[in-house]
A and B are shown apart, each in its own frame.
Chain A
């Protein structure tokens, strides 16, 4: 019995081994990702198109759950020695991946190894810089980049007697409009926001050109310390806390849950990722888009990229790296990039795709769709707006979210929340750097 089981087992193993041999068939390349819904369909289509175009390599997309779950699955797989070829890692995981030298192979090297010249200037500067080492080597392939923008319900604006064609530009204008909407009864809630940390601390700092953390927001390495418990941060969060107390602002959750509040018509204004546009379009809401609000005298500077990029693991064989290079070359084609941008609301990652979309008249037909790009590219980035990179950004976001929740339910004011958040986050960063 045991012998038979063993024989059976080894036969299966032999089969698996035979499949893995490059000579047997096309080299298989696993692509682990975290895309759901419409964005998952895009992933499947891309893999299918690539596989049909050539016969040497086969991209196999595997859905691995949410962004953090995908990152974890990849880490566990690497530790077990069975890592996929490509993994999609969200923006805040970038610091984790960068620290893992030896576990990843820079995408620039992969492309050059595959015989493709790697020209960084083809890519949108802000995005390329974010996914590069301080010395300029591009480490990962930007796949889906997004930027936070303002969404508003035109019907509610009209009902409240606001101008539905000109969205509020500054934060005080947003807050005033939100109050008016609530008071006039146009909607039960004036304003909500997804991703408080990403939009109201990381992007808020860049967009208003104030420092998020020391060490150039952590891009310079070392042990960065958060600086978000002073100046307009306190003013901004106190304003939101006040709105929450009046019932004008409603909290939806730590990630994109608040989108539901906007889609259901409950909240009339929302700040959300441009990547959320697909769902807004689908809902049939009479919506308008606007720039991310700023404070007069501080912004607008430029926003920083969110979304995710594709990382290539180390420890694969040459044939696999060649295949990945082919695939990335396929992905960076202008028509593919332009299509990705137009169907998803994510940013185009190459200049050529941006120009092509512009030339096609897409932005005239779809007003507001250019906003996330102009926001990011509008100005030469400063020390405050190149991006944020901490060794443990997911943990820092968690800490800040906890303090914000305690602030929004009225148990502490903005200054206390930010002070406590900064203190706890700095301790966690020191811990992570020391570890």
Chain B
């Protein structure tokens, strides 16, 4: 806030400049969101031929449904595991990439690549490797005597989708960690080295605390990613199975709406999800605003 305020002499121009963004937000966010709210209070058949207003009954049904509670647990486990795994691996890779002397750009480019892979494609990739019916890795695992069967074993299915989802997100985290590492003043690290701190000590006492704002930002972004952007992976790899072991909240919205054709319940669930994401974003802004500028 130290910088002077920018003042526009023209009163209309700023609004005109903002208009495209506002129009996009209205059409692609507010309009569908209001439709979801409206739909969540209705009960209707698939074709929309009979519609009746049911108030909050859809929400009551959702919260009474034990499988919704299950989906919440699955989402929590899945999101935390995905965020933790992808961030840890990315941090290790970023610190190692920093130490490389030759070919830094080459390695960085390679590591960023998977981010460009669409979730559904990433899912198919992992499915082809680990599907017990046709995957080559699955075949090796079974040959080695390990009873690999994510089609029936819920924990194995969860591991598979977590690894697939993390793999895709590692690139993104890697980018931010590399940027975060570069932002750490060399003088601090040199000072620590002169004081006699060795590699690991330097990392945990100097580098890691200075990466905290980046890590927090990534934690929120990764959780949101795991919540919403992993639909394609889950759809391709497990389809929410076996026995709902990998059915996240987003997957349930899809399944109840588009497979079971229960639009009211599906809309109610998406409204609940909207509330969750608004909450997550609010936390992020409060925290990031407070913590990110300390450096």
Task: List the interface of chain A (C-beta within 8 A of B).
Answer: 68, 72, 75, 78-79, 96, 99-103, 250-254, 257-258, 260-261, 264, 266, 392, 394-395, 398, 401-403, 405-406, 408-409, 428, 431-432, 435
Contacts and interface: CB of A to CB of B under 8 A. Distances in A.
B25 to A, nearest CB: 19
Contacts of A258: 133
B244 A100 contact: no
**Consensus secondary structure, chain B interface:** loop
B133 A103 contact: no
Nearest to A104: B47
5 contacts: A252-B151, A253-B151, A392-B260, A408-B152, A432-B262
Interface in B265-293: none
Interface in B245-271: 255, 258-262, 264
A341 to B, nearest CB: 29
Given A260-B134, A398-B260, A408-B152, A75 B46 contact: yes
B151 A251 contact: yes
B241 A401 contact: yes
Nearest to B239: A254
Given A75-B47, A253-B151, A402 B243 contact: yes
Contacts of B49: 100-103
Interface size class of B (residues with CB under 8 A): 20 to 34
A405 B133 contact: no
Nearest to A69: B258
Contacts of B45: 99-100, 435
Given A253-B151, A254-B241, A405-B243, A96 B259 contact: no
A252 B133 contact: yes
A401 B264 CA distance: 24
B129 to A, nearest CB: 14
Contacts of A405: 151-152, 241-243
Nearest to B54: A435
B242 A409 contact: yes
Contacts, number: 82
A253 B47 contact: no
B205 interface: no
Contacts of A252: 133, 151
A152 B54 CA distance: 53
A395 B259 contact: yes
Given A254-B239, A406-B243, A435 B255 contact: no
Interface string B47-84: 11100000000000000000000000000000000000
A408 B244 CA distance: 14
B43 A435 contact: yes
Given A100-B45, A409-B152, A75 B239 contact: no
Interface of B: 43-49, 131-134, 149, 151-154, 239, 241-244, 255, 258-262, 264
A408 B255 CA distance: 23
A408 B151 CA distance: 10
Contacts of A78: 47-48
A261 B133 contact: yes
B133 A253 contact: yes
Given A99-B45, A409-B152, A435-B43, A395 B241 contact: no
Contacts of B261: 75, 96, 392, 394-395
Given A75-B46, A102-B49, 13 more contacts: A68-B259, A96-B46, A100-B46, A100-B47, A102-B47, A252-B151, A253-B133, A260-B134, A394-B260, A395-B262, A398-B259, A402-B243, A409-B242
Contact of A394 (B134, B241, B259, B264): B259
Contacts of B255: 398
Nearest to A404: B243
A394 B49 CA distance: 20
A20 B53 CA distance: 37
Contacts of A253: 133, 151
Contacts of A409: 149, 152-154, 242-243
A412 to B, nearest CB: 10
A72 B260 CA distance: 10
A403 to B, nearest CB: 7
Contacts of B243: 402-403, 405-406, 409
Nearest to A417: B243
Contacts of A431: 262
A171 B244 CA distance: 29
Nearest to A252: B133
Lowest 7 A-B CB distances belong to which pairs? A405-B242, A409-B152, A395-B260, A260-B133, A406-B243, A405-B243, A103-B47
A50 B172 CA distance: 52
Contacts of A79: 47-48
Contacts of B264: 435
Contacts of A435: 43-45, 262, 264
A143 B258 CA distance: 24
